[in-house]
A and B are shown apart, each in its own frame.
Chain A
Amino acid sequence: MRQRFCFHKSNSGDIARGRLKLLLVSDKARVNPGLLNLIREDMLGVLSRYAEVDSLNLDIRLVRMETAGAREPVPVLSATFPIRTFTKRKEECF
């Protein structure tokens, strides 16, 4: 038999709220949530070529924003990649 649950019971409402917020945004934007993960990994890969990224604190999300010319809010990809240091690129070493 398995242990009861990994998390403490009283936290499960908070977990539910967090999951739900993410779900509703991706539902409204009509995008699969897994796609955001793919974009996140790809962007992280690109940025890592130039800088040391604090991957624990990075944030990528879809938000909805009013835009000139669009009748209703459009989905906007918002990403924050905290950078520890910019790594020196080879050509700059000379």
Chain B
Amino acid sequence: MSEVMVITSGKGGVGKTTTAANIGTGLAYLGYSVVLIDTDIGLRNLDVVMGLENRIIYNLVDVVEGNCRIKQALIRDKRCPNLYLLPSAQTRDKSAVNPEQMKKLTDDLRDEFDYILLDCPAGIEQGFQNAIAGADRALVVTTPEVSAIRDADRIIGLLEAAGMQEIDLVVNRIRMDMVRRGDMMSVEDVSEILAINIIGAVPDDEDIVVSANQGEPLVDTETMAGQAYMNICRRVAGEAVPLMDLDPRKGILIRISSFLKRA
């Protein structure tokens, strides 16, 4: 039942790596055995977001080139014993690996893991082609901005052309105050434009910055973003979880006033 899932976006800086780290960690919390693979050769970052940068000895390219066995390169997470990271190489470039090698690698990992998550580099060149080669499904990450959604649309087209079975969308960095003012596209707007299943929306939360500073994914913490990521994990695993209300304001007076403003 193991599944290979690529996390991609086209545009850089929309939160692919943060999403990969949190979904990987969240799935591990749910009890699945998970491996996160950083496929961004030359610009690795997933190790830093996971707080595992000081444990790297071998990397993805070492495995592909046969310098070490897969098990030697896998780094066990600090807190989850069922979560591993396969870091990327920092001193090589995308041409160090080809799609066939990536497919073989992910297929080899299917025996050991329930979920194999690939953090894809930005762009549509070889790094992207490598990352999607062995994937069964894709999570496309976007933000409610014109440039990011345009790139997401292009990526979805490329994924469909490559025969990707299942494609879901994560809308990241939603600011409900701006949506309410009409200054930001809503999750519904994005869904309508891209005509693709939305698997979750994550609020723009300053806790994300704190979590990245510390190298500890915030999934399942008592933060809005932490809960949003946990809900995405449950949906990835097939649970039906309703989309959460991202509005942090709870008071009845505020609700009435915003209702009156809308009317």
Contacts and interface: CB of A to CB of B under 8 A. Distances in A.
A30 B222 contact: no
B221 A3 contact: yes
A2 interface: yes
Chain A interface main SS type: helix
Interface in A10-32: 12-13, 15-16, 19, 22-23, 27, 30, 32
Given A5-B211, A32-B56, A33-B54, A23 B223 contact: no
B221 A4 contact: yes
Contacts of A70: none
Interface size class of B (residues with CB under 8 A): 20 to 34
Interface stretch (A34-42, A46-54, A61-69, A73-81): A34-42
A15 to B, nearest CB: 5
A23 B211 CA distance: 17
Nearest to A33: B54
Nearest to A38: B57
B90 A37 contact: no
Interface in B177-236: 207, 209-216, 218, 220-223, 226-227
B213 A16 contact: yes
A9 interface: yes
Given A1-B221, A9-B210, A12-B210, A34 B91 contact: no
A36 B216 CA distance: 22
Contacts, number: 64
Contacts of B220: 1-2
A6 interface: yes
B182 to A, nearest CB: 32
B53 interface: yes
A2 B221 contact: yes
Nearest to B230: A1
Nearest to B57: A34
A7 interface: yes
B214 A12 contact: yes
Contacts of B154: none
B190 to A, nearest CB: 28
A63 to B, nearest CB: 17
Contacts of A30: 90-91
Nearest to A17: B213
A44 to B, nearest CB: 16
Contact of A34 (B56, B221, B223): B56
Interface of A: 1-7, 9, 12-13, 15-16, 19, 22-23, 27, 30, 32-38
- Interchain residue pairs A-B with the least CB separation, the first 5: A12-B213, A16-B213, A34-B57, A34-B56, A12-B210
Given A1-B220, A27-B90, 20 more contacts: A1-B222, A1-B227, A2-B222, A3-B221, A5-B210, A5-B214, A5-B221, A6-B214, A9-B210, A12-B210, A12-B213, A13-B213, A15-B214, A19-B215, A22-B53, A23-B48, A30-B91, A33-B56, A37-B54, A37-B55
21 contacts: A1-B220, A1-B221, A1-B222, A2-B222, A3-B222, A4-B221, A4-B223, A5-B214, A5-B216, A6-B216, A12-B213, A15-B213, A19-B215, A23-B53, A27-B90, A32-B57, A32-B90, A33-B53, A34-B57, A37-B54, A38-B57
